[in-house]
C-alpha cells in the first residue's frame, strides 16, 4: 500500500525555504515559482539578496507578499542564508540556490521522511541536471555515490549531498552552529560534515529537485574551492575528534587538494606557490604526479606565449557532463514561464511510497 505526502506530513509542521540571491535575474523567477508550487505542506519563502545590482530585486518583487524579501550588502552566500534563517519561523529548513528548482512534491516527501525518522540530522535526495533552457541532461546519481545512515567518514572523502535536495530540522541546524560565513564555496559541505558527525542522514533515491548547469556556476571556481576544501579538512585533522580511519581519509584528501592547488599554481606560472603546496603533501596519486611533471616541463621548455596557448587547448572537464561553453551560449530561461518541463511521470507521481529508511 502506498501513501500520499498529505497522509505522511503533519499539518502543524512548517518549512522555511531560504533562497540567497546575487545577480540572479536570469533564473530567480523560475526558482521562486518552483517553491510556490509545492503541495501538501505548510511553508514560507524567504529571499535574501546579497547586494545585487542587476534586475534581481525587481524580479523578486513581482511575487508580492507571497514571500519575504531581505537585503544586505554583499557578504557571500553563507551570510545570506544565515540572514534568512534569522527571519525564518519554520521548524524545518531548506536552502535553494537562485538557479535551481524543486519538483512539486519535494517538501512534502522530504518532510515525511524526517517526521518518520526524527533521529535523522538531515535528509537529501537525487536531483535532475538541467541546462539554461530547463532541458534535463541527466541525474546527479550518474556522478555521485549516495549513502545514508552514518556517513561522516564517506563525506570526508567526497561531498555527495546536493544542497538543493536538503531538508533539516531547525534544532539540528542551530545545534551545529549553522553556516560559517568564512566559507564562500563549500559552506554547504562544511555544514553537512558537522551534521553527519553527530547525526545519521536519510536519503530518498528519487530526483526531487533540479540542479542547473550554466556558465555562472560557482563550481567552476576551481582554486578557491580546492583551497576551502583543504582548510576544512585541516580543521577536522586538528580538531582531535576523528577516529584513526577518519584521520587517514582527511589526511589523504588534504594532500590531494594541495597537489591539485600546486597544479593550478604551475598553470599560472607561480612555481613558488606550487612548491609551497607540494611541501604540504604527504602523498599524491601517480596520475597527479604525472600531470605536475608534464606541466612543469612544458612551462620550463616553452616560451610563455606558447605555454599559455597549450593551456588554452587543454579541455576543461565539463560539470556534470554539460559543456560550459555550450551552457554559456544558450539563452536564459524566460522568467515568465509558470510550469516546469515534464520529468518522467513516475518521478512526479504523488502516490509513490516515501522510502522509510
Helix (H, G, I), strand (E, B) or coil at 60: helix
CA distance 296 to 271: 9
CA distance 132 to 16: 26
Instruction: Give the pLDDT of residue 307.
Output: 87
Helix (H, G, I), strand (E, B) or coil at 46: strand
Helix (H, G, I), strand (E, B) or coil at 241: coil
CA distance 236 to 239: 5
Tens-place pLDDT, residues 157-203: 999 999 999 999 999 999 999 999 999 999 999 999 999 999 999 99
Residue 185's alpha-carbon distances to 23, 164, 228, in angstroms, are: 16, 14, 7
Confirm if 157 and 249 have CB atoms less than 8 A apart.
yes
Under the banding of pLDDT at 50, 70 and 90, the label for residue 299 is confident
Task: Report, at the CATH architecture level, how domain 5-217+331-337 is classified.
Answer: Alpha-Beta Complex (3.90)
Above 80 in pLDDT, residue 95?
yes
Instruction: Give the pLDDT of residue 341.
Output: 46
pTM: 0.85
Above 50 in pLDDT, residue 309?
yes
Confirm if 34 and 98 have CB atoms less than 8 A apart.
no
Tens-place pLDDT, residues 102-151: 999 999 999 999 999 999 999 999 999 999 999 999 999 999 999 999 99
Q: For the chain, which residues make up each domain, given as ranges?
A: 5-217+331-337, 244-313
Cell numbers linked to 165: 535536495
Cell numbers linked to 304: 610563455
Instruction: Please state the rounded mean pLDDT for residues 308-319.
Output: 76
Length of the chain: 357
Amino acid at each position: 500500500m502506498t501513501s500520499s505526502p498529505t497522509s505522511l506530513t503533519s499539518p502543524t509542521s512548517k518549512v522555511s525555504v531560504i533562497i540567497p540571491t546575487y545577480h540572479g535575474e536570469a533564473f530567480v523567477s523560475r526558482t521562486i515559482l518552483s517553491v510556490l508550487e509545492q503541495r501538501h505542506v505548510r511553508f514560507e519563502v524567504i529571499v535574501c539578496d546579497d547586494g545585487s545590482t542587476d534586475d534581481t530585486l525587481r524580479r523578486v518583487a513581482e511575487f508580492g507578499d507571497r514571500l519575504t524579501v531581505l537585503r544586505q550588502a554583499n557578504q557571500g552566500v553563507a551570510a545570506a542564508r544565515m540572514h534568512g534563517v534569522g527571519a525564518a519561523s519554520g521548524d524545518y529548513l531548506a536552502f535553494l540556490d537562485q538557479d535551481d528548482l524543486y519538483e512539486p512534491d519535494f517538501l512534502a516527501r522530504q518532510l515525511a521522511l524526517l517526521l518518520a525518522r526524527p533521529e535523522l540530522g538531515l535528509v537529501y535526495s537525487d536531483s535532475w541536471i538541467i541546462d539554461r533552457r530547463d532541458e534535463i541532461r541527466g541525474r546527479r546519481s550518474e556522478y555521485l555515490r549516495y549513502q545514508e545512515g552514518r556517513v561522516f567518514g564517506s563525506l570526508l572523502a567526497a561531498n555527495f549531498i546536493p544542497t538543493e535536495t536538503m531538508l533539516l530540522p531547525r534544532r539540528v541546524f542551530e545545534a551545529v552552529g549553522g553556516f560559517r560565513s568564512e566559507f564562500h564555496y563549500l559552506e554547504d559541505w562544511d555544514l553537512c560534515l558537522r551534521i553527519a558527525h553527530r547525526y545519521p542522514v536519510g536519503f530518498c533515491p528519487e530526483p526531487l529537485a533540479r540542479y542547473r548547469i550554466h556558465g555562472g556556476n560557482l563550481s567552476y571556481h576551481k582554486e578557491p574551492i580546492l583551497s576551502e576544501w583543504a582548510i576544512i579538512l585541516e580543521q577536522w585533522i586538528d580538531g582531535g575528534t576523528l577516529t584513526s580511519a577518519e584521520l587517514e581519509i582527511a589526511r589523504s584528501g588534504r594532500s590531494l587538494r594541495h597537489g591539485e592547488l600546486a597544479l593550478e599554481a604551475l598553470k599560472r606560472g607561480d612555481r613558488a606557490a606550487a612548491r609551497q603546496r607540494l611541501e604540504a603533501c604527504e602523498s599524491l596519486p601517480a596520475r597527479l604526479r604525472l600531470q605536475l611533471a608534464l606541466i612543469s616541463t612544458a612551462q620550463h621548455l616553452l616560451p610563455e606565449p606558447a605555454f599559455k596557448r597549450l593551456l588554452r587547448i587543454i579541455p576543461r572537464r565539463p560539470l556534470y557532463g554539460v559543456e560550459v561553453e555550450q551552457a554559456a551560449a544558450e539563452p536564459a530561461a524566460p522568467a515568465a514561464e509558470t510550469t516546469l518541463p515534464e520529468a518522467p511521470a513516475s518521478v512526479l507521481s504523488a502516490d509513490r511510497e516515501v522510502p522509510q529508511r
